[in-house]
Amino acid sequence: MSQFEVIPQQRVRNWSGLGVWNLYFIIKFALVWTGYLNFQALPNVVFAAALLLPLPHRHLRLLRTVIAIPTGMALLYQDTWLPPFSRLLAQPGVLDFTGAYLLDLVSRFIELNLCALLAVLVVVYAFARHWLRLTTVSVLGLAWLASANILAMHPSAAPAGDAAPGMPAVASTAEPDNATLEAYLQKFYATEATRQVEFKPSTSPAQPFDLLLINICSMAWDDLDAVGLRDNTLFQQMDVVFDNFNSATSYSGPAAIRLLRASCGQTPHSKLYGTAPEQCMLMDDLKNLGFADEVMLNHTGQFEGFLDEVRSQGALPPPAISTGNLPRALVGFDGTPILRDGQVLSSWWKHRIDEKGDRVALFYNTTTLHDGNRVLTADGGTKSADYKPRAQSLIDDLNGFIAQLQASDRRVVVVIVPEHGAALHGDRMQVSGMREIPSPSITHVPVGIKLVNMGSNPATAPLHITAPSSFLALSQIISRLYIAQPQGEGLAPSWQTLLTDLPQTAAVSENAGTVVVDYAGKPYVRIKEKGQWLPYPQRFK
């Protein structure tokens, strides 16, 4: 036998296919089929090719295995819907979570149905590997998924469409490929950069009013639906309710900053922490009209420097009064005290009554509904706090506060505007409570406006604004309220005038490195900067 005949036989003996790595790829195929993975074909094909490469020496094969294990784990993480690992490292606030909250978060990643599926696949693999050439199955599966990715990337030359009435011209009906969605996003931000609300001096004989911005952490329409509180008494008594308001982010700091910069169009997250033009600052606009600005919280504001961040980015003073004498109602996810909203607001209102200023603009932030909060027990300990009783308590407190305002005979505009939702529902990309990706169910928040002691309103139910809206519309209404002429003795301003031709804003939401856009009625997500756009997967049923 010649040397040229021995070498091929030796290579055949050294080639064992994918071996146990078949289980790795078969599990991935099952997770892709069930929607748990965002499979990236090219790196997986390259990884499989490296594993299939015949190596003549045992030490080389061992070295390849040592390298392949962490590489495979990293590739699996990259294929999940989880945020880039760099984003997790950029969240130092996680170190401030209590041990109980961390355990709760970890438990949410354990899905019994998924664990059962993986167990079945392991058993099937253990039996099938003796009778089937599973490497062939893996290679064919990779080829099929790779071809599907290539077809999905093929662009279509569909024509561009016009924007909806009242909407800036950023709409399009072109095929939602990477280039189209990226162009749509950039055109959206270019259009938003030109939009601004102008605050004019008032010639109205009406008395000044106070403006109260009630900024609620973790309340979305989806959350209220989940606990049966969508038709609650708080929003039923509003004069106006936004049905299609987008908070544009799913984190507290950015949400508060966007509210405080509501007088200009929506900016990219990357520009959110730069110096904003003075005309964009809602509180500055109000100060120029004679409003004194004040701040109150029902929490310490220390987590991730929330209070310092909001004050610096929103040009706000420190809290108006001390709340150190109030008892804690909850213990936050970071172990800090959370106060009862009704007590904090009532204390502030007594302070306001004693002031001599004509008009005050208050920014109030509450974390009563934040994920991971705990209620106090009789023995001095704490236990997990369900969302529904906390939401009902907040609703009751705000109802009571509005009744207190009405009894004072002072003219007040109350604006209820949540930061984002609580993500009570998990979906394919995020477990419940996780808000790294600003999905529509998290950023679609209930916003309401109530005029207190500003004249009678003949309407018996709230007016509903169904157009896609965001903070610019709120700023526009506030500016119009300031100059609104009274309709007559004892009558409220004309809502028809206040709500005509409000600025509409397409649903674009963004966190650091992650963007979600509503394009042609469907949500699409880009998880990484310059990454691929993907259809946002449907929620678990």
The 3-class SS string of 490-523 reads CECCCHHHHHCCCCCCCCEEEECCEEEEEECCEE
> Do 361 and 453 sit in the same domain of this protein?
yes
What is the per-residue pLDDT for 458?
Answer: 74
Residue 169 lies in a domain: no
List the single range of 90-99, 389-398, 456-465 with lowest mean pLDDT: 90-99
List the single range of 288-297, 384-393, 467-476, 527-536 with lowest mean pLDDT: 527-536
List the single range of 16-20, 210-214, 230-234 with lowest mean pLDDT: 16-20
> Do 122 and 220 sit in the same domain of this protein?
no
What is the per-residue pLDDT for 17?
Answer: 80
What is the per-residue pLDDT for 280?
Answer: 94
What is the per-residue pLDDT for 96?
Answer: 56
The dihedrals phi and psi of 529, each to the nearest 5 degrees, come to -60, 125
**Most confident of the following: 86-95, 166-175, 346-355, 486-495:** 346-355
**CA 19 to CA 11: how far, in whole Å?**
16
Residue 210 lies in a domain: yes
What is the per-residue pLDDT for 78?
Answer: 81
> Do 102 and 242 sit in the same domain of this protein?
no
- Of the residues 137, 152, 167, the one at which a domain ends: 152
List the strands of the sheet with 522-526, edge to edge: 508-511, 514-519, 522-526, 533-535
State mean pLDDT over 4-31: 71
Residue 368 lies in a domain: yes
Q: What percent of the chain has pLDDT over 70?
A: 85
What is the per-residue pLDDT for 517?
Answer: 96
State mean pLDDT over 510-532: 88
- Among 477, 476, 479, which Cα is nearest to 200's? 479
> Do 120 and 218 sit in the same domain of this protein?
no
> Do 368 and 476 sit in the same domain of this protein?
yes
Q: Which residue has the higher pLDDT, 143 or 450?
A: 450
The domain spanning residue 406 has which CATH number? 3.40.720.10
Residue 248 lies in a domain: yes
Task: Using DSSP bridges, classify how beta strands 240-246 and 463-465 pair: parallel, antiparallel or unpaired.
Answer: parallel
**CA 332 to mean position of chain CA atoms:** 20
Alpha-carbon torsion, ordered 25, 28, 30, 34, to 10 deg: -170
> Do 212 and 66 sit in the same domain of this protein?
no
- The pLDDT mean for the chain works out to 85
Q: How sure is the predictor about 156, in pLDDT bands with cuts at 50, 70 and 90?
A: very low
* 3 state DSSP class of 411: coil
> Do 215 and 141 sit in the same domain of this protein?
no
Find out whether 242 and 174 touch, Cβ atoms under 8 Å: no
Does residue 165 carry a pLDDT above 50? no
The dihedrals phi and psi of 45, each to the nearest 5 degrees, come to -65, -40
Does residue 31 carry a pLDDT above 70? yes
Q: How sure is the predictor about 83, in pLDDT bands with cuts at 50, 70 and 90?
A: low
**CA 173 to CA 130: how far, in whole Å?**
52
Handedness of CA 90, 439, 390, 257 (dihedral sign): positive
Does residue 316 carry a pLDDT above 80? yes
- Among 227, 195, 248, 532, which Cα is nearest to 418's? 248
For the chain, the domain total comes to 2
> Do 208 and 74 sit in the same domain of this protein?
no
What is the per-residue pLDDT for 166?
Answer: 46
Residue 476 lies in a domain: yes
Buried-exposed string 259-290: b where 16+ CB fall within 10 A, e elsewhere:
bbbbbbbbbebeebeeebeeebbbbbbbeebe
> Do 362 and 490 sit in the same domain of this protein?
yes
Residue 33's contacts (CB-CB under 8 Å, 6 or more residues apart) are: none
Q: How sure is the predictor about 434, in pLDDT bands with cuts at 50, 70 and 90?
A: confident
Other Cβ atoms closer than 10 A to 59: 8
Q: How sure is the predictor about 541, in pLDDT bands with cuts at 50, 70 and 90?
A: very low
Q: Which residue has the higher pLDDT, 298 or 427?
A: 298
- The CA distances from residue 9 to 1, 51, 55, 133, in Å, are 11, 19, 13, 19
Q: Which residue has the higher pLDDT, 289 or 170?
A: 289
DSSP per-residue letters across 204-244: --SPP-EEEEEEESS--HHHHHHTT-SS-HHHHT-SEEEEE
State mean pLDDT over 30-49: 84
**CA 251 to CA 217: how far, in whole Å?**
9
**CA 78 to CA 14: how far, in whole Å?**
31
Residue 535 lies in a domain: no
Q: What is the pTM of this model?
A: 0.82
Cite the beta strand spans of 312-430 per DSSP E. 328-331, 337-339, 360-366, 374-376, 382-384, 412-416
**Helix 306-314 and helix 252-260, axial crossing angle in degrees, nearest 10:** 20
* 3 state DSSP class of 88: helix
State mean pLDDT over 190-195: 95
**CA 130 to CA 56: how far, in whole Å?**
24
**Angle at 71 (CA atoms; ends 68, 74), nearest 5 degrees:** 150
- Of the residues 108, 129, 152, the one at which a domain ends: 152
What is the per-residue pLDDT for 106?
Answer: 62
- Among 74, 40, 37, 65, which Cα is nearest to 142's? 40
**CA 425 to CA 108: how far, in whole Å?**
11
Residue 251 lies in a domain: yes
Residue 252 belongs to domain spanning: 204-500
> Do 45 and 147 sit in the same domain of this protein?
yes
**Most confident of the following: 143-147, 193-197, 274-278, 425-429:** 193-197
Find out whether 370 and 335 touch, Cβ atoms under 8 Å: no
**CA 493 to CA 497: how far, in whole Å?**
8
State mean pLDDT over 223-245: 96
Find out whether 472 and 197 touch, Cβ atoms under 8 Å: yes
What does R_g of the chain's alpha carbons equal in angstroms? Answer: 28
> Do 358 and 250 sit in the same domain of this protein?
yes
> Do 461 and 324 sit in the same domain of this protein?
yes
**CA 459 to CA 481: how far, in whole Å?**
18
Residue 367 lies in a domain: yes
Q: How sure is the predictor about 104, in pLDDT bands with cuts at 50, 70 and 90?
A: low
Does residue 459 carry a pLDDT above 60? yes
